[in-house]
Amino acid sequence: MVELMVVLVIIGILVLLALPRLEPVVSKAKETEAKLMLKAVHTTFFMPMVLTAIRKWLTRYRMERT
């Protein structure tokens, strides 16, 4: 039982030593995730509006040429 507690204490110390080194990695991962989410929002909501505007312009342009 004592051996198990010693192992747990050692693992805890190693985790505490590793945490400061992992913070930049976690921060970068969150930044990348946010960029991907913003790109998905842009593609989902704004691109259809742009395509609709282009279609309307093309329709008017075709009508003016005839």
pLDDT tens digits, 4-63: 999 999 999 999 999 889 899 999 999 999 999 999 998 888 888 888 999 999 998 888
Q: Please tell me the predicted confidence (pLDDT) of residue 61.
A: 85
Res 13: pLDDT: 96
pLDDT on residue 47: 86
Query: Residue 33, Cβ neighbours under 10 Å: how many?
Result: 10
pLDDT number for residue 29: 96
In degrees to the nearest 10, what's the CA dihedral of 44, 45, 51, 55? 130
Residue 37 CA to residue 25 CA, distance in Å, equals: 18
Taking the C-alpha atoms of 12, 24, 29 and 46 in order, what is their torsion angle to the nearest 10 degrees?
A: 150
pLDDT over threshold 80, residue 66: no
